[in-house]
Amino acid sequence: MAAGGLEKLLVANSSDIFPRQRKTTLPGGYMGRILRVDLNSGSMKDENLPEEPMLRKFIGGQALATYILLRELPLDAKPYGPENKVVMMTGPITGTGFTPGGTKVTAVYLSPLTNHTLGRGAASGFWAVYLKAAGYDGIIVEGAAPKPTYLYINEGRAELRDASSAWGKGATETEDRLRAEVGIKDAKVMCIGPAGENLVHAAMLCNDYNHNAAHSGGAVFGSKKLKAIVVHGTARPPLYDRARLIEAGLRWRKTLMVRHEAEKRTAGHAVDLGAAPNFNFRSTVIEESHIEGFDKNRVTLRPCFQCQRLCPWDVELKSGNHSGTVGHFNAGSEWLDTFYNLGVRGNDALYLAQRINDLGIECSHFSCGVGVAFEAWEKGLLNAEKTGGLKFEWGNVEVIDRLLDMAARREGYWGNLLAEGPVEVAEAIGGDAPKWVVHTKKGTPALHDWRPHFGQMIREIVASGGMKPQGGGSVNPPPDLKYREKWGPLDRNDPAGWSWSNALSEQYRQFCGLIGGCWFAQMHMKPDGLNSMIDSFNATTGWNFDIDQALEAGHRSAMLQSIFGTQRGWIAEHDWKDVGARFLEPVPDGKHKGFTIAKWLPELVYEYHRLMGRHEKTGRPFMDTLKKLGLEEFQEWAQLD
Amino acid sequence: MNEKYGNLIPTGQLLDGKPRTILFDAIKCIGCRQCVHACKDWNDHPRTTVFEISSSNWITMEPPVLEGLSPLWARNSCMHCEYPMCAAVCPVEAITKYEEGPVVIDPNVCIGCEYCIYACPWGVISKDDLTHKASKCTMCSDRMSEDKSPFCVQACPVGALDFGLQEEVSAKARTRAQEVGGYVYGEKEAGGTQVLYVLKEKKESYGIRSVGPQKYPKHKISLPLMLKDLFTLRCGLQGKVRALYLAIIHPRRLLYRYWPWRQVV
Ligand code: SF4
Ligand code: SF4
Ligand code: SF4
Ligand code: SF4
């Protein structure tokens, strides 16, 4: 056969990514294999990790996963079609045990929320560590199973099993059941709740009780009738230089801003942001009632695998109507703001937060939808006739509780509408309601009131042409980059510097994820915060990245994310045009009253894309950018003029 | 050292001869098991399991439920007894008590007779399925000889584990116990141990064993096991020869193995 012909064939089906036999040495930190699961036929296959040069380019996590997806996903794939794929990747520092934050797995797929951008869910906890212990760096899920199924990987052996006993169950119960079913206490479970099964567009992947990977991975799992992936094993990643890794990991640890139990008794991230969303983002004030009962609750920190930042925590409610409820949370606290936004306060908010996580609905999606509906009720656009007798009143815990179940099961008119999303809710209500929605490209931002904050707002609206941002202009730029960066004022009243700050932080946050690290444990604002992470990565793999190469790897990952969108119709103009009006309204009250970044749009968005090497309006990468990042193979999607 | 031990067990020195102690504060512990994984990481043990003591899991956090899901947690690992019965019963002197604290099994010397497993009042020694040697926590003697603290201790994210010179740590333990209205476990047990716990509730609530104050506590090695080791091929001919030779040159060391009824020396 002519060599040329063969080559073409290989490129077309991407098998040139995965060598049949490795020719280059596998760097440290990797297990060396990816499991490919075809749910249509039930067949499974081990793929070798790419050769060293490709691995060095994409490393792991989101970049490697997205690259695989870009190469394998047909352009006409539908999010819920069996042709959609979920590619899940860890990174080399996942599971070494010697660094903080070595816990990450990132899943990518075509997003059912937007239908045209990259969906990305990233999870911490323990699951990713045990996936590697089972012998795999990642998983590619293809096709769709005929009936509820779960994937069980134990010590390098994978099998598909019947999931009917767990179908319909919440995430916590599913985890317990499947762990019992495989009979291994140490096994770790990533699963979907009823929301995923019923294709609620924003359904999450849930793992290790406290962890949720948002942004619709759960819905794609559901469309494939894949209830869970259970992993267990005893292997550990080989390390290039263990002693150096231990030393670098300890340095990294010193940069952490350790969280405390006391923080878990506050209104969470809203306190840091100086604003809580209330009544569908119409007030930002935080009152005593927000945290009523929190002081009496039993709170236990429940850290991720070998990470000392102490984000996740458990709570047992000690007062209120749901006293005795146990909740499992991570640090983000968007689930708290989710219910503050609906007028719920104190322990009731924690109760509902546990419910929504267990059902597996991305909390912001629900909150932004219900928020509009409640506002419509308040303003007389809805009445009991239209709501099936449910009183859409702020703070009505019973009604919200009921709506949660309805949404997760797409039950009735409202359940179905809420499962679709806030934009659909607003359109169905009509009148002025579409002006009250908070959304970005039809997805929803992690539910906090980001509006008073420059960097975070840019991050949320651009998100590199996707829905899930990484990074976010910080007012504390990394000291490790001081030697070469000029920051500009980073002042609330001055747009200068913010776009660059976002572009840069996106790059190092991306890098952190690619190597298998959790960007919550990535403390750029402290000296040595970036260097200790890069050194940990080098000691693990045996590569020798400097800070510029690390940033470039992050940049490449962000670029793959936008190329995926470009291929499917995303343009940069969507970033500021396809945003819910409420999200761009001036802050209604409080410390930051009147502030909005809207007055600097679209220039901020344009500037951000220019700085990232994309065309400001189309969002396509320039040829120079592709060359710099070694992505010439995607030149077909480049901006040519 | 020899005065204290009357030449009853093998002793040695790793660093400066100053005794050290690990402190476990049950009031601070959140049950995260980072200490358990840290021990595995340092000793390159397989990732799982974490719920039982085994030759590849030298420490457990009890009860055996998922991380964080119990209101009370207790460390379960070698207590590094000042008068270690495991060392006293070993027929081949494979277990050494170091002046700095560690009680360490030398797997190259161990013949797998299992006496120590039955002798340990805390039941924290296991037998390696592959090598048939006894295995347990070393108090990170390898790190201690470099003046570094045990790996589990440095891993604890909430400071529930501490390590230092015995006098200082004992004083700390007592102060802390007073502060929280609790008590110190390990100061008297088995004649004193070099791992101390600060507890608040009753021992039983933590699932911790009651161990009397007797030094070299009475062992539970069964007669059939002893006979089996004496009269069958178990433990190898070389092992038997070595045991016999040591019995001749150190006859006093037979006292604890074969005279469990003896009183404290
Ligand atoms: S606790 Fe058991 S194994 Fe540890 S020193 Fe004491 S007797 Fe020996
Ligand atoms: S198994 Fe026997 S030989 Fe080995 S350390 Fe224990 S008592 Fe000594
Ligand atoms: S002292 Fe060392 S060997 Fe013992 S449990 Fe801790 S880490 Fe493991
Ligand atoms: S690491 Fe510390 S807090 Fe965690 S289980 Fe061990 S002793 Fe307890």
Instruction: Report yes or no: B60 and B206 within 8 Å, Cβ to Cβ.
Output: no
Instruction: Give me the domain span that covers residue A632.
Output: 454-637
**pLDDT beyond 60 at A2:** no
Q: Is the CB of B239 under 6 A from ligand 2?
A: no
Task: Give nearest CA residue, ligand 1 atom 2.
Answer: B120
Question: pLDDT digit string (tens) for A58-85?
Answer: 999 999 999 999 999 999 999 999 999 9
Q: Are residues A481 and A574 in the same domain?
A: yes
CA B67 to chain A, closest CA, distance in angstroms equals 7
The CB density around residue A615, as the number of other CB atoms within 10 Å, is 20
| A393 & A468 share domain | no
Say how many domains are in chain A. 3
Supply the CATH number for residue A19's domain: 3.60.9.10
| pLDDT tens digits, B29-67 | 999 999 999 999 999 999 989 999 999 999 999 999 999
Domain boundary at A185, A213, A232, which? A232
CB A453 within 8 A of CB A270: no
Q: What is the pLDDT of residues A478-534, one digit of tens each?
A: 999 988 888 778 888 899 999 999 999 999 999 999 999 999 999 888 999 999 999
How many C-beta atoms lie closer than 10 Å to residue B238's C-beta?
Answer: 10
Q: Where are the beta strands (DSSP E) in chain B?
A: 11-12, 20-25, 60-62, 74-76, 95-98, 103-105, 126-127, 134-135, 161-165, 183-185, 195-199
Amino acid letter at B102? Answer: P
Stretch A194-212: mean pLDDT: 97
pLDDT cut 90: percent of chain A above it: 90
A11, pLDDT greater than 70: no
Picking from A213, A232, A251, the residue at the C-terminal end of a domain is A232
The count of C-alpha atoms lying within 13 angstroms of the C-alpha of B83, restricted to the half-sphere facing its C-beta, is: 22
Question: What is the domain-level CATH number for residue A360?
Answer: 1.10.569.10
Residues A431 and A545 placed together within one structural domain of the fold = no
In a 3-state reduction of DSSP, which class is residue A218? helix
Cα A604 to chain centroid, rounded? 24
Right CATH for B2-206 from 3.30.70.20, 2.40.10.220, 3.30.1490.100, 3.40.309.10: 3.30.70.20
- Using the predicted structure, report yes or no on whether residue A458 has a pLDDT greater than 70: yes
Tell me the DSSP string of B72-136.
--EEES---BSS-HHHHH-TT--EEEETTS-EEE-TTT-----HHHHH-TT---EE-TTT--EE-
C-alpha triplet A444, A446, A448: angle, nearest 5°: 110
| pLDDT over 60 (residue B263) | no
Answer yes or no: is A356 within a domain.
yes
Residue nearest to atom 7 of ligand 2 (CA): B90
Residue A513 shares a structural domain with residue A399? no
- What distance in Å separates residue A186's CA from the closest CA in chain B? 6
pLDDT, position A14:
65
Per-residue pLDDT tens for B125-137?
A: 999 999 999 999 9
Whether residue A361 lies inside any domain: the answer is yes
For chain A, the helix, strand and coil percentages under 3-state DSSP, each to the nearest 5: 40, 15, 45
Q: Residues 132..161 of B with a Cβ closer than 8 Å to A: which?
A: 154-155, 157-158
Pair (A549, A612) in one structural domain: yes
Does A378 share its domain with A479?
Answer: no
Statement to judge: residues A496 and A531 lie in one domain? yes
Binary contact (A303, B157; C-beta < 8 A)? yes
Q: Taking the domains of chain B in order of start, what are their residue ranges?
A: 2-206
Write out chain A residues lying below 8 Å of B51, CB-based.
185-186
Whether A102 and A164 share a structural domain: yes
A484 assigned to some structural domain = yes
Q: What angle do CA B8, B14, B16 make, to 5 degrees?
A: 105
Can you tell me the distance from the alpha carbon of B130 to that of B121, in angstroms, rounded to the nearest whole number?
25
Last residue of a domain, one of A232, A248, A277: A232
Q: Which ligand is nearest to the CA of B33?
A: 4
Asked whether residue A245 is domain-assigned, the answer is: no
Pocket test for ligand 4, best of B42, B156, B197, B206 (most atoms within 8 A of CB): B156
Residue nearest ligand 1's atom 7 by CA: B120
What is the DSSP code (8-state) at residue A635?
G
> Is the Cβ–Cβ distance between A38 and A143 less than 8 Å?
yes
* Per-residue model confidence (pLDDT) at position A473: 66
- How far apart are the two ends of chain A, measured CA to CA in Å? 40
Residue A6 reports pLDDT greater than 60: no
| Mean of all residue pLDDT scores within chain A | 94
Does any CB of chain B come closer than 8 Å to the CB of residue A308?
A: yes
Domain-located, residue A252 = no
- In angstroms, the CA A538 to CA A239 distance is 10
Asked whether residue A70 falls in the same domain as residue A153, the answer is yes
- Tell the residue nearest (CA) to atom 5 of ligand 2: B110
Residue B50 touches partner A, C-beta closer than 8 Å: yes
Residues A542, A613 within the same domain: yes
pLDDT (mean) for A440-455: 92
Q: Rounded mean pLDDT of chain B?
A: 94
Task: Locate the ligand 4 atom nearest the alpha carbon of residue B24 and give its number.
Answer: 7
Q: What is the DSSP letter of B162?
A: E
Q: pLDDT of B189-206, one tens digit each?
A: 999 999 999 999 999 999
Tell whether A242 is covered by a domain.
Answer: no
CA B192–ligand 4 middle distance (angstroms): 23
pLDDT band at B261 (very low <50, low <70, confident <90, very high): low
Q: How confident is the model over A333-355, as pLDDT tens digits?
A: 999 999 999 999 999 999 999 99
Q: What is the ipTM of this complex?
A: 0.95
pTM greater than 0.90: yes
- Of A518, A578, A462, give the one whose Cα is nearest residue A306: A518
